[in-house]
Chains A and B, each alone.
Chain A
Amino acid sequence: MHRTGELFGQFETMDQQRESASLGMWVFLVTEVLFFGGMFMTYTLNRSTYPGVFAEASRSIRLSLGAINTVVLIGSSLTMAMAVWASQAGKKKLIPLFLIGTLALGTVFLGIKGIEYHDKYVEHHIPGLNFSFEPNADVATNAHAQLFFSLYFAMTGLHALHMIIGAGLLLWLLRQSLRGRFTPQYNTPVELVGLYWHFVDIVWIFLFPLLYLIDRH
Protein backbone atom coordinates (compact mmCIF):
# COMPACT_ATOMS: atom_id res chain seq x y z
CA MET A 1 0.00 0.00 0.00
CA HIS A 2 1.09 3.54 -0.57
CA ARG A 3 1.39 4.12 3.16
CA THR A 4 4.58 2.09 3.23
CA GLY A 5 6.13 4.12 0.47
CA GLU A 6 5.56 1.47 -2.17
CA LEU A 7 4.35 2.07 -5.68
CA PHE A 8 0.60 1.68 -5.62
CA GLY A 9 -2.28 1.24 -8.03
CA GLN A 10 -2.40 3.41 -11.11
CA PHE A 11 0.94 5.17 -10.64
CA GLU A 12 3.83 4.33 -12.93
CA THR A 13 6.67 5.76 -10.86
CA MET A 14 7.24 6.85 -7.26
CA ASP A 15 7.86 10.39 -8.49
CA GLN A 16 4.47 10.44 -10.15
CA GLN A 17 2.82 9.01 -7.04
CA ARG A 18 4.41 11.63 -4.80
CA GLU A 19 3.69 14.47 -7.17
CA SER A 20 0.02 13.61 -7.52
CA ALA A 21 -0.39 13.74 -3.73
CA SER A 22 1.32 17.11 -3.57
CA LEU A 23 -0.65 18.39 -6.56
CA GLY A 24 -3.88 17.37 -4.83
CA MET A 25 -3.03 19.58 -1.87
CA TRP A 26 -1.94 22.44 -4.14
CA VAL A 27 -5.24 22.32 -6.05
CA PHE A 28 -7.10 22.42 -2.73
CA LEU A 29 -5.00 25.42 -1.70
CA VAL A 30 -5.99 27.14 -4.96
CA THR A 31 -9.62 26.81 -3.90
CA GLU A 32 -8.64 28.26 -0.51
CA VAL A 33 -7.00 31.25 -2.23
CA LEU A 34 -10.32 32.03 -3.85
CA PHE A 35 -12.22 31.28 -0.63
CA PHE A 36 -10.24 33.84 1.35
CA GLY A 37 -10.03 35.93 -1.81
CA GLY A 38 -13.76 36.60 -1.64
CA MET A 39 -13.31 38.29 1.72
CA PHE A 40 -10.25 40.16 0.53
CA MET A 41 -12.45 41.41 -2.31
CA THR A 42 -15.10 42.61 0.15
CA TYR A 43 -12.38 44.27 2.18
CA THR A 44 -10.94 46.00 -0.88
CA LEU A 45 -14.31 47.41 -1.88
CA ASN A 46 -15.27 48.60 1.58
CA ARG A 47 -11.91 50.10 2.42
CA SER A 48 -11.80 52.03 -0.85
CA THR A 49 -15.29 53.35 -0.12
CA TYR A 50 -14.64 54.38 3.50
CA PRO A 51 -10.89 54.99 3.75
CA GLY A 52 -11.03 57.42 6.68
CA VAL A 53 -13.12 55.28 9.01
CA PHE A 54 -11.20 52.13 8.07
CA ALA A 55 -7.94 53.87 8.96
CA GLU A 56 -9.36 55.00 12.30
CA ALA A 57 -10.76 51.57 13.09
CA SER A 58 -7.43 49.98 12.16
CA ARG A 59 -5.64 52.21 14.65
CA SER A 60 -7.86 50.91 17.42
CA ILE A 61 -6.48 47.37 17.21
CA ARG A 62 -3.16 46.73 18.90
CA LEU A 63 -0.32 46.80 16.39
CA SER A 64 2.09 45.16 18.86
CA LEU A 65 -0.10 42.06 19.18
CA GLY A 66 -0.50 41.80 15.42
CA ALA A 67 3.23 42.14 14.88
CA ILE A 68 4.08 39.57 17.55
CA ASN A 69 1.57 37.18 16.00
CA THR A 70 3.17 37.68 12.59
CA VAL A 71 6.58 36.73 13.99
CA VAL A 72 5.05 33.77 15.85
CA LEU A 73 3.26 32.43 12.78
CA ILE A 74 6.23 32.80 10.46
CA GLY A 75 8.26 31.05 13.15
CA SER A 76 5.76 28.20 13.10
CA SER A 77 6.25 27.94 9.34
CA LEU A 78 9.98 27.58 9.99
CA THR A 79 9.43 24.76 12.50
CA MET A 80 6.97 23.12 10.09
CA ALA A 81 9.50 23.29 7.24
CA MET A 82 12.07 21.76 9.61
CA ALA A 83 9.62 18.95 10.43
CA VAL A 84 9.34 18.19 6.71
CA TRP A 85 13.13 18.29 6.41
CA ALA A 86 13.53 15.94 9.37
CA SER A 87 11.14 13.44 7.76
CA GLN A 88 12.99 13.66 4.42
CA ALA A 89 16.42 13.34 6.04
CA GLY A 90 15.48 10.36 8.18
CA LYS A 91 15.89 12.26 11.46
CA LYS A 92 12.97 10.40 13.00
CA LYS A 93 13.48 11.68 16.54
CA LEU A 94 13.43 15.32 15.40
CA ILE A 95 10.08 15.09 13.57
CA PRO A 96 7.88 15.14 16.71
CA LEU A 97 9.99 17.92 18.23
CA PHE A 98 9.47 20.21 15.26
CA LEU A 99 5.79 19.32 15.11
CA ILE A 100 5.41 20.19 18.79
CA GLY A 101 7.23 23.47 18.13
CA THR A 102 4.78 24.27 15.33
CA LEU A 103 1.83 23.36 17.55
CA ALA A 104 3.17 25.48 20.41
CA LEU A 105 3.67 28.55 18.23
CA GLY A 106 0.23 28.05 16.67
CA THR A 107 -1.29 27.90 20.13
CA VAL A 108 0.51 31.10 21.15
CA PHE A 109 -0.94 32.74 18.04
CA LEU A 110 -4.47 31.66 18.94
CA GLY A 111 -3.98 32.78 22.55
CA ILE A 112 -2.94 36.25 21.44
CA LYS A 113 -5.92 36.31 19.08
CA GLY A 114 -8.10 35.56 22.07
CA ILE A 115 -6.63 38.50 23.93
CA GLU A 116 -7.31 40.74 20.94
CA TYR A 117 -10.90 39.56 20.65
CA HIS A 118 -11.37 40.22 24.36
CA ASP A 119 -10.01 43.76 23.88
CA LYS A 120 -12.61 44.32 21.19
CA TYR A 121 -15.35 42.96 23.43
CA VAL A 122 -14.41 45.35 26.21
CA GLU A 123 -14.27 48.32 23.83
CA HIS A 124 -17.68 47.54 22.30
CA HIS A 125 -16.15 46.94 18.90
CA ILE A 126 -17.95 43.68 18.19
CA PRO A 127 -20.68 44.26 15.57
CA GLY A 128 -24.07 43.34 16.94
CA LEU A 129 -22.91 43.33 20.58
CA ASN A 130 -23.71 46.87 21.76
CA PHE A 131 -21.43 48.20 19.06
CA SER A 132 -20.18 51.70 19.66
CA PHE A 133 -17.04 52.81 17.85
CA GLU A 134 -16.53 56.01 19.79
CA PRO A 135 -18.62 57.75 22.43
CA ASN A 136 -19.60 60.61 20.10
CA ALA A 137 -19.63 58.70 16.83
CA ASP A 138 -22.40 59.60 14.42
CA VAL A 139 -24.57 56.97 12.76
CA ALA A 140 -22.55 56.86 9.54
CA THR A 141 -19.20 56.50 11.31
CA ASN A 142 -20.59 53.72 13.47
CA ALA A 143 -22.00 51.94 10.43
CA HIS A 144 -18.76 52.17 8.46
CA ALA A 145 -16.67 51.19 11.46
CA GLN A 146 -18.91 48.15 11.86
CA LEU A 147 -17.96 47.18 8.30
CA PHE A 148 -14.31 47.19 9.27
CA PHE A 149 -14.88 45.15 12.40
CA SER A 150 -17.20 42.70 10.64
CA LEU A 151 -14.41 42.09 8.16
CA TYR A 152 -11.85 41.97 10.98
CA PHE A 153 -13.73 39.23 12.81
CA ALA A 154 -14.80 37.34 9.69
CA MET A 155 -11.32 37.28 8.16
CA THR A 156 -9.30 36.62 11.30
CA GLY A 157 -12.01 34.23 12.49
CA LEU A 158 -11.89 32.19 9.29
CA HIS A 159 -8.11 32.27 9.53
CA ALA A 160 -8.21 31.11 13.16
CA LEU A 161 -10.58 28.29 12.18
CA HIS A 162 -8.04 27.17 9.60
CA MET A 163 -5.35 27.26 12.27
CA ILE A 164 -7.45 25.13 14.62
CA ILE A 165 -7.96 22.61 11.83
CA GLY A 166 -4.22 22.78 11.19
CA ALA A 167 -3.58 22.12 14.87
CA GLY A 168 -5.76 19.02 14.63
CA LEU A 169 -3.76 17.85 11.62
CA LEU A 170 -0.52 18.51 13.51
CA LEU A 171 -1.73 16.43 16.46
CA TRP A 172 -2.51 13.61 14.06
CA LEU A 173 0.95 13.92 12.51
CA LEU A 174 2.51 14.02 15.97
CA ARG A 175 0.86 10.74 16.90
CA GLN A 176 2.06 9.10 13.68
CA SER A 177 5.58 10.46 14.02
CA LEU A 178 5.88 9.12 17.58
CA ARG A 179 5.13 5.70 16.10
CA GLY A 180 7.99 6.12 13.65
CA ARG A 181 5.62 6.21 10.67
CA PHE A 182 7.57 8.73 8.60
CA THR A 183 10.68 7.78 6.65
CA PRO A 184 12.61 9.26 3.72
CA GLN A 185 10.60 6.85 1.57
CA TYR A 186 7.26 7.89 3.00
CA ASN A 187 6.68 11.36 4.44
CA THR A 188 3.79 12.55 2.27
CA PRO A 189 1.43 13.47 5.16
CA VAL A 190 4.07 15.70 6.74
CA GLU A 191 4.69 17.41 3.43
CA LEU A 192 1.02 17.97 2.69
CA VAL A 193 0.16 19.31 6.15
CA GLY A 194 3.21 21.53 5.71
CA LEU A 195 1.78 22.98 2.51
CA TYR A 196 -1.51 23.66 4.28
CA TRP A 197 0.20 25.29 7.25
CA HIS A 198 2.34 27.55 5.05
CA PHE A 199 -0.77 28.62 3.18
CA VAL A 200 -2.44 29.66 6.44
CA ASP A 201 0.73 31.65 7.18
CA ILE A 202 0.49 33.38 3.79
CA VAL A 203 -3.10 34.43 4.48
CA TRP A 204 -1.91 36.10 7.69
CA ILE A 205 1.00 37.75 5.84
CA PHE A 206 -1.64 39.66 3.89
CA LEU A 207 -4.14 40.10 6.73
CA PHE A 208 -1.57 41.82 8.95
CA PRO A 209 -0.84 44.88 6.79
CA LEU A 210 -4.43 45.14 5.56
CA LEU A 211 -6.00 45.12 9.02
CA TYR A 212 -3.30 46.52 11.31
CA LEU A 213 -1.21 48.84 9.14
CA ILE A 214 -3.75 50.92 7.22
CA ASP A 215 -2.55 54.24 8.60
CA ARG A 216 -0.15 54.38 11.50
CA HIS A 217 1.45 57.74 10.76
Chain B
Amino acid sequence: MSEHHIVSPKIYFAIFAALMVCTGLTVWAAEVDLNHIFAGMNIVVALTIATLKASLVVLFFMHGKYSSKRTQMVIICSMFWLAIMLFMTMSDYLTRAWS
Protein backbone atom coordinates (compact mmCIF):
# COMPACT_ATOMS: atom_id res chain seq x y z
CA MET B 1 0.00 0.00 0.00
CA SER B 2 1.58 3.29 -1.07
CA GLU B 3 0.28 4.83 2.12
CA HIS B 4 3.31 6.80 3.08
CA HIS B 5 0.92 9.62 2.33
CA ILE B 6 -0.27 10.91 5.70
CA VAL B 7 -3.66 12.55 5.41
CA SER B 8 -3.64 15.95 7.08
CA PRO B 9 -5.94 16.65 10.04
CA LYS B 10 -7.22 19.66 8.10
CA ILE B 11 -8.81 17.30 5.61
CA TYR B 12 -10.36 15.22 8.39
CA PHE B 13 -11.94 18.31 9.95
CA ALA B 14 -13.18 19.54 6.57
CA ILE B 15 -14.79 16.17 5.86
CA PHE B 16 -16.35 16.18 9.33
CA ALA B 17 -17.86 19.59 8.61
CA ALA B 18 -19.22 18.32 5.29
CA LEU B 19 -20.73 15.31 7.05
CA MET B 20 -22.43 17.60 9.57
CA VAL B 21 -23.90 19.70 6.76
CA CYS B 22 -25.17 16.55 5.04
CA THR B 23 -26.74 15.32 8.27
CA GLY B 24 -28.56 18.61 8.76
CA LEU B 25 -29.63 18.54 5.13
CA THR B 26 -31.09 15.06 5.34
CA VAL B 27 -33.07 15.89 8.51
CA TRP B 28 -34.40 19.06 6.88
CA ALA B 29 -35.31 17.24 3.65
CA ALA B 30 -37.25 14.66 5.62
CA GLU B 31 -39.45 17.38 7.05
CA VAL B 32 -40.38 18.70 3.61
CA ASP B 33 -42.86 16.87 1.44
CA LEU B 34 -40.87 16.19 -1.72
CA ASN B 35 -43.12 13.37 -2.83
CA HIS B 36 -45.36 15.74 -4.79
CA ILE B 37 -42.43 16.26 -7.17
CA PHE B 38 -42.46 12.57 -7.92
CA ALA B 39 -43.53 9.65 -5.79
CA GLY B 40 -40.66 8.41 -3.69
CA MET B 41 -38.53 11.55 -4.04
CA ASN B 42 -38.00 11.78 -0.26
CA ILE B 43 -36.36 8.36 -0.06
CA VAL B 44 -34.25 9.04 -3.16
CA VAL B 45 -32.95 12.26 -1.61
CA ALA B 46 -32.33 10.56 1.75
CA LEU B 47 -30.39 7.68 0.20
CA THR B 48 -28.43 9.97 -2.09
CA ILE B 49 -27.28 12.04 0.88
CA ALA B 50 -26.48 8.88 2.86
CA THR B 51 -24.45 7.52 -0.05
CA LEU B 52 -22.57 10.81 -0.30
CA LYS B 53 -21.79 10.70 3.43
CA ALA B 54 -20.64 7.08 3.21
CA SER B 55 -18.45 7.94 0.23
CA LEU B 56 -16.76 10.73 2.17
CA VAL B 57 -16.07 8.34 5.04
CA VAL B 58 -14.69 5.64 2.71
CA LEU B 59 -12.57 8.00 0.62
CA PHE B 60 -11.06 10.12 3.38
CA PHE B 61 -11.51 8.63 6.85
CA MET B 62 -10.81 5.11 5.57
CA HIS B 63 -8.15 6.38 3.14
CA GLY B 64 -9.93 4.87 0.15
CA LYS B 65 -8.72 7.70 -2.06
CA TYR B 66 -5.14 7.02 -1.06
CA SER B 67 -5.27 3.23 -1.33
CA SER B 68 -3.93 0.94 -4.02
CA LYS B 69 -6.05 -0.01 -7.01
CA ARG B 70 -6.21 -3.52 -5.56
CA THR B 71 -7.86 -2.23 -2.37
CA GLN B 72 -10.16 0.07 -4.32
CA MET B 73 -11.30 -2.87 -6.43
CA VAL B 74 -12.26 -4.80 -3.28
CA ILE B 75 -14.26 -1.79 -2.06
CA ILE B 76 -16.09 -1.49 -5.39
CA CYS B 77 -16.84 -5.21 -5.42
CA SER B 78 -18.67 -4.93 -2.08
CA MET B 79 -21.01 -2.31 -3.54
CA PHE B 80 -21.54 -4.47 -6.61
CA TRP B 81 -22.43 -7.57 -4.61
CA LEU B 82 -24.74 -5.60 -2.29
CA ALA B 83 -26.47 -4.22 -5.36
CA ILE B 84 -26.96 -7.72 -6.75
CA MET B 85 -28.51 -8.88 -3.48
CA LEU B 86 -30.86 -5.91 -3.28
CA PHE B 87 -31.87 -5.59 -6.93
CA MET B 88 -32.15 -9.26 -7.80
CA THR B 89 -34.11 -10.10 -4.65
CA MET B 90 -36.49 -7.16 -5.11
CA SER B 91 -36.99 -8.02 -8.77
CA ASP B 92 -38.06 -11.47 -7.67
CA TYR B 93 -40.72 -10.06 -5.37
CA LEU B 94 -41.84 -7.35 -7.76
CA THR B 95 -42.39 -9.79 -10.62
CA ARG B 96 -44.63 -12.13 -8.70
CA ALA B 97 -48.04 -11.78 -10.30
CA TRP B 98 -49.71 -13.99 -7.72
CA SER B 99 -53.03 -12.56 -6.62
A residues neighboring B (CB under 8 Å): 15, 18-19, 22-23, 26-27, 29-30, 33-34, 37-38, 40-41, 44-45, 48, 63, 67, 70-71, 74-75, 77-78, 80-82, 85, 88-89, 194-195, 198-199, 201-202, 205-206, 208-210, 213-217
Contacts and interface: CB of A to CB of B under 8 A. Distances in A.
A44 B30 contact: no
B57 A205 contact: yes
Nearest to B77: A30
Interface string B87-99: 0011001000000
A200 to B, nearest CB: 10
Nearest to A213: B30
Contacts, number: 126
B3 A34 contact: no
Interface of A is mostly: helix
Given A41-B85, A205-B50, A18 B30 contact: no
A67 B20 CA distance: 10
A93 B82 CA distance: 40
Contact of A33 (B1, B33, B68, B82): B82
A195 B20 contact: no
Interface residues of B, number: 48
Contact of B82 (A37, A195, A217): A37
A30 B79 CA distance: 9
B27 A33 contact: no
Contact of A40 (B23, B61, B67, B86): B86
B57 A77 contact: yes
B23 A23 contact: no
A205 B61 contact: no
Contact of B85 (A37, A198, A206): A37
Nearest to A216: B30
Nearest to A27: B74
Interface in B53-81: 53-54, 57-58, 60-62, 67-68, 70-71, 74-75, 77-79, 81
B6 A88 contact: yes
A26 B32 CA distance: 37
Given A41-B89, A78-B16, A205-B50, A198 B61 contact: yes
